[in-house]
Structure 1
Amino acid sequence: MNKTVLKSMEIIKLFFKEEKLTLLQMIEKTGLPKTSAYRMAESLLELGFLEKDQEGAYRLGLIFLALGNLVADRLDIRSVALPYMKRLRKETGEAVNLVIRDGDEAVYIEKVDTQERVRVYTQIGRRAPLYGGACPRILLSFMEQDEQEQLIESFQMIRYAKGTPENKEELRQLIQKTRKNGWSISHSELEDHSSALAAPIFNHKGDVIAGISLVGPEVRFRDEARAKEMIEKLIEASRQISVELGAGDR
């Protein structure tokens, strides 16, 4: 590998932990000769990878902000999530859905169907209210509290099935429980006799950007031991997807 590139990367990595460094500090930390360190630092400065403050100390340039945003924006959550969704289906036998928020609704953008004969069918593009069903509600539960409360106040609580939350106070209690647990569960909220388990997916900013869920007939989700096992696998999948999207190891 090119030694100059490697040494330049060594300098850049110093700023992963330090906000700014003088040339002398860079020399001390890298062990580079003064002339080499100066030449590399000035080259990185000219390229925009570093910048100088008024005291002459170096810090990372704004180009990293632009590059970071580009990487984050170009990560397709569906392509990142799909392998984990397929693994979840294999491990649990249940269907797996992926939803994102669109206004006051959740939109189903990807799915992996179960091989079981008795199943709950979900169509890509389907919309659901954020207050109904485990996966839509996971998006509501982990958003900023002010925005969350504004949405709750705006909801007209329509009863889609026998288990749909009846009022806003019940919804707030479900949200509180979801945030405490880190996952949500629903029974007969959007369709009678159907159940779902859901977990949040976070981006590099720590914002919830999607929900992933296991969905199936209610009878298969009422078994506490089986549900606990599915929850563990679901949470691990959501964590790994979040890490790939830059959220860090939560």
Structure 2
Amino acid sequence: MQANNKTVVKSMQILTLFIKHPKLTFTEMMEYSGVPKTSLHRMVGSLEEMGFLTKDEQGYYSLGLLFLQFGQLVANRLDIRNIAKPVMEALRDEVEEAVNLIVRDGNEAMYIEKVDTLHPVRLYTSIGRRSPLYAGACSRIILAHLPEKEQEEYITQTELAPIGIGTITDQKKLRNVLKEAKEKGYTISTSELENFTTSVSAPIVNHQNEVVAGISVAGIEARFQGDRLPFIIQKVTEAASLISEKLGYQGSLK
């Protein structure tokens, strides 16, 4: 049984290589994974036979169509995506900026849905992208609503490393920004994940009064100036409230 468990772990180790690499040769898989040639050959053969991997004419391996089927099942069962998507599209049309939907995954935030702006100059984010909870408006709005003890443990145990020129790397400042975000019901970030960009985010709450996601409008910093910023804040918070209502929340978001 233990040997079988090791095989499963090593197989997952191989599959996770394709998160960062769309295609890999057998030699590259062996180099990146450190799995011996004989064992790797056996596992790759099994994964290919089951449909988890596919091999093209040039000898490159990639994830098989089975993952597309699994991915679609997961996507369909994430109700929040189906509920939020029409609201996100309407928000995009109103503010003419990209709209993102993010959920917590451990000590990170993960993008699970996005609606792109039609502007030629835009931010390029992708579903599945991750960011630390302390950086970026959409990540931080989730951190702001964690229980105080859990939030403090995260702050004290996490290295607040700079990502963009505006990333908050001071614990005291982060605590103040989190407190303000919870009080106001939204948060703003500038150049935290990418330089010269701005993001405005508000929390999404479910029927159990739990913050389960964050919705944000993000774009080039120059388009979030003057009267545009209050307008975007209003529209983001309204969209968050609407999605929350559709999830069964009956309270009042700020």
In the superposition, the TM-score normalised over structure 2's length comes to 0.68
Which segments of structure 1 move beyond 3 Å, counting only runs of 4 or more?
A: none
Q: Which residue of 2 aligns with 1:3?
A: none
2:78, 2:131 → 1: CA distance? 25
Alignment partner of 1:232 out of 227, 231, 234: 234
* Deviation by residue 1:199-244 (Cα, 9 ceiling, x = unmatched): 00001111100000001001111x1311101111111110010011
Aligned partner of 1:187: which letter?
T
* Identity value in percent: 47
CA RMSD of aligned residues (A): 1.1
Q: Which residue of 1 aligns with 2:148?
A: 145
2:204, 2:161 → 1: CA distance? 27
Aligned partner of 1:192: which letter?
N
Gaps spanning 5+ residues in structure 1: where? 1-73
Alignment check: 8 A CA contact 1:75 1:245 kept: no
Q: Which residue of 2 aligns with 1:209?
A: 212
Alignment partner of 2:82 out of 59, 79, 83: 79
1:248, 1:224 → 2: CA distance? 33
* Deviation by residue 1:167-203 (Cα, 9 ceiling, x = unmatched): 1111101101111211000000001011100000001
* Deviation by residue 1:44-91 (Cα, 9 ceiling, x = unmatched): xxxxxxxxxxxxxxxxxxxxxxxxxxxxxx770000000000000000
1:245, 1:152 → 2: CA distance? 29
User: Does 1:97 pair with 2:100?
Assistant: yes
1:238, 1:193 → 2: CA distance? 25
Alignment check: 8 A CA contact 1:239 1:249 kept: no
SS of the residue 1:115 aligns to:
coil
Aligned partner of 1:241: which letter?
I
Alignment partner of 2:119 out of 116, 127, 131: 116
1:189, 1:244 → 2: CA distance? 31
Q: Which residue of 1 aligns with 2:8?
A: none
Q: Which residue of 1 aligns with 2:132?
A: 129
2:147, 2:207 → 1: CA distance? 16
SS of the residue 2:124 aligns to:
coil
Alignment check: 8 A CA contact 1:202 1:247 kept: yes
Alignment size in residue pairs: 176
1:75, 1:216 → 2: CA distance? 26
Q: Which residue of 2 aligns with 1:247?
A: 249
Aligned partner of 1:247: which letter?
Y
Rg larger in structure: 1
SS of the residue 2:178 aligns to:
helix
1:143 deviates by 1.6
Alignment check: 8 A CA contact 1:143 1:207 kept: no
Alignment check: 8 A CA contact 1:137 1:175 kept: yes
Q: Which residue of 2 aligns with 1:185?
A: 188
SS of the residue 1:215 aligns to:
strand
1:154, 1:88 → 2: CA distance? 36
Alignment check: 8 A CA contact 1:187 1:218 kept: yes
1:240, 1:161 → 2: CA distance? 31
* Deviation by residue 1:89-141 (Cα, 9 ceiling, x = unmatched): 00000000000000110000000000001111111100000000000000000
1:75, 1:104 → 2: CA distance? 20
